């Protein structure tokens, strides 16, 4: 029995990055031997075991063969005869197909170390094209390592293109897709993930609503970058630079989908794109079964982001409607995320990345003014039910009018 550290742990050590998860491969062992040593079995598809003390995963060396469509369409064969090289060849990228023994001796049959040095994301073997999930994984690695100068090898991009055109991407489950998408959006350069998906034709399969934004112009006075797709990438880039959470990044990606529906004769204007985009945002949310908080914020940002930009001009009654839509009294955090999404939208424009956004503090002040209205005096007057609701609304409107006056003086 020989045990090797494999995959990401080896890759990240060689890159000088912190190693978080460690995967192990066991060569020359049977499942019975693992159980005898106290390992606990997990995984129905192939023999993976948890170490009795560390809890880390140890997998028996295995080969795989394509047997059906999609990510799960494989049969696996694990036996003591399977070599380390045979196990490594089934992996996605050369930089993930290296192994180390306990003396840190490197086994690198597919030249992963060379590709690390050359900053190349390259597939290990033609079998790469058998697993559609790898399209998303490679795009995610491109987003993670873009800051180090990594690029996808042209021949790997070509295989990704073939996969995108094969119909295999449609076989991915919403859960698997969302896991990769959400992880990619939280990388340091999530806009690279979207760009790579577009470069290989996967974006128009997975998110045609986002793909449709590229080539759609906007008024240059507000958008020096002009192209709606480029703007979306820039907004996503700003969200990552400002360390925003997943909810905000997802909303940033989807906020302008309505612009993809504008007839060409109306370009570069996009009248009512906020309202038109809601059905598209809803469709993307449902396609990937995004978490509820991501879905809700994306829809609210899509509908109201121009309200955010025009915050200082809004009437007190419109401000109140906006605050009510977000339920700022019970869910203040959601409104805060809306504000920062609007700010990322304003900064995601060529040459305007450092612009100030006074609307943010203005909206925070408005929310504070509305929340500051006390309910107790109205209860003491004997108001309840709809009467109480209306009285509360009137008092909040009064508070917002006073706030507007003080803010403009």
Name every residue whose Cβ is closer than 8 Å to that of residue 245 and which is 6 or more positions away in sequence. Answer: 337
Any known ligand binding at 8? Answer: yes
> With the C-alpha atoms ordered 277, 278, 279, 283, is the resulting torsion angle positive or negative?
positive
Any known ligand binding at 137? Answer: yes
Any known ligand binding at 11? Answer: yes
Name every residue whose Cβ is closer than 8 Å to that of residue 274 and which is 6 or more positions away in sequence. Answer: 258, 302, 303, 304, 305, 306
Any known ligand binding at 256? Answer: no
Any known ligand binding at 91? Answer: yes
Any known ligand binding at 227? Answer: no
Name every residue whose Cβ is closer than 8 Å to that of residue 17 and which is 6 or more positions away in sequence. Answer: none
Any known ligand binding at 23? Answer: yes
Which residues belong to the annotated binding site for Mg(2+)? 21, 23
Residues tagged in the binding site annotation: 8, 11, 21, 23, 91, 137, 140
Binding residues for ATP: 8, 11, 91, 137, 140
Annotated binding site for CTP: 8, 11, 91, 137, 140
């Amino acid at each position: 029995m020989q045990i090797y550290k494999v995959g990401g742990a080896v890759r990240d050590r060689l890159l000088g990055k912190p190693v978080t998860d460690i995967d192990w491969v066991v060569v020359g062992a049977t499942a019975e031997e693992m159980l005898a040593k106290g390992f606990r079995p997990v995984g129905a598809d192939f023999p993976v075991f948890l170490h009795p003390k560390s809890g880390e995963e140890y997998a028996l060396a295995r080969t795989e063969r394509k047997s059906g469509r999609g990510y799960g369409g494989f049969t696996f064969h694990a036996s003591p005869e399977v070599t380390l090289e045979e196990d490594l060849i089934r992996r996605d990228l050369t930089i993930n197909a290296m192994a180390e023994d306990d003396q840190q001796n490197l086994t690198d049959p597919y030249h992963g170390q060379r590709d690390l040095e050359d900053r190349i994301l390259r597939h290990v073997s033609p079998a790469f094209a058998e697993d559609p999930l790898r399209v998303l994984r490679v795009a995610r690695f491109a987003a993670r390592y873009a800051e180090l100068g990594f690029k996808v090898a042209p021949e790997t991009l070509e295989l990704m293109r073939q996969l995108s055109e094969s119909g295999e991407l449609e076989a991915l489950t919403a859960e698997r897709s969302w896991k990769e998408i959400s992880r990619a959006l939280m990388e340091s350069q999530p806009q690279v993930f979207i760009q790579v998906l577009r470069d290989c034709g996967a974006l128009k399969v997975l998110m045609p609503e986002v793909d449709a934004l590229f080539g759609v112009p906007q008024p240059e006075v507000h958008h020096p970058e002009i192209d709606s797709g480029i703007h979306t990438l820039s907004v996503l880039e700003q969200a990552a630079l400002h360390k925003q959470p997943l909810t905000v990044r997802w909303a940033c990606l989807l906020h302008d989908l309505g612009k993809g529906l504008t007839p060409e004769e109306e370009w570069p204007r996009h009248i009512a794109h906020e309202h038109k985009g809601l059905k598209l945002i809803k469709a993307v949310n449902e396609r990937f079964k995004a978490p509820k908080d991501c879905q809700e914020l994306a829809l609210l940002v899509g509908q109201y982001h121009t309200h955010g930009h025009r915050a200082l001009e809004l009437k007190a009654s419109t401000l109140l409607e906006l605050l009510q839509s977000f339920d700022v009294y019970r869910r203040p955090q959601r409104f805060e995320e809306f504000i920062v999404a609007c700010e990322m939208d304003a900064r995601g424009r060529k040459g305007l990345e450092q612009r100030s956004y006074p609307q943010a503090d203005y909206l925070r002040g408005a929310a504070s003014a509305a929340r500051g209205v006390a309910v107790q005096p109205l209860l003491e007057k004997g108001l309840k039910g709809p009467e109480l609701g209306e009285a509360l609304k009137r008092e909040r409107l009064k508070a917002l009018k006073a706030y507007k006056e003080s803010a403009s003086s």
